[in-house]
Amino acid sequence: MKAKLSVVLLFITVLVATGCGQGASNQTKRTADSTPAEAEAAAIYKKQCLACHAADLSGRVGPNLQEVGSKWSEEQLADIIRDGAKGMPAFKKVLQTEEIDSLATWLSNHR
């Protein structure tokens, strides 16, 4: 009788433990463009930056930007986008200040 009770209790414990872990995997994961502002910045990136920096930010002609937020501040990124840098053209005549700032914020979150 004790053996049956132990098996049932073990089974219930395993079910409860498994159920507790399920909640974490079902949570919505935050993506790089989960807010309207982030989606807009991602769209600007796709239109203006993708050709040189690739869709996944891994770089082509331009450098890899996947972790650019850990290397440059938001302000530094805005300056680079606005004024250009080694081999990168300036976008101050192509993008509005708000678009540059939005893109810099979006890129700074890639860490």
20 in a known ligand binding site: no
Residue 71 maps to a domain: yes
110 in a known ligand binding site: no
Residue 98 maps to a domain: yes
Q: What is the pLDDT of residues 9-67, one digit of tens each?
A: 445 544 445 444 444 333 333 444 689 999 999 999 999 999 999 999 999 999 999 99
User: In Å, how far from its chain's centre is CA 96?
Assistant: 23
pLDDT of residue 53: 96
Q: What is the pLDDT of residues 65-103, one digit of tens each?
A: 999 999 999 999 999 999 999 999 999 999 999 999 999
49 in a known ligand binding site: yes
Q: Check which CATH number belongs to the domain holding 63 and give it.
A: 1.10.760.10
Residue 8 maps to a domain: no
Is the whole model's pTM more than 0.75, yes or no?
no
* Phi and psi angles of residue 88, each rounded to the nearest 5 degrees, phi first: -105, 130
CB 69 within 8 A of CB 107: yes
Q: Which domain holds residue 80?
A: 36-108
pLDDT of residue 33: 62
pLDDT of residue 1: 62
52 in a known ligand binding site: yes
Residue 18 maps to a domain: no
Residue 69 maps to a domain: yes
Residue 84 maps to a domain: yes
The whole-angstrom separation of Cα 48 and Cα 81 is 10
If DSSP codes are grouped into helix, strand and coil, which group holds residue 81?
A: helix
**Per the structure, how many domains does the chain have?**
1
Residue 24 maps to a domain: no
Q: E strand or H helix at 57, and its extent? A: none
> Encoding tokens for residue 81?
């986008």
Residue 2 maps to a domain: no
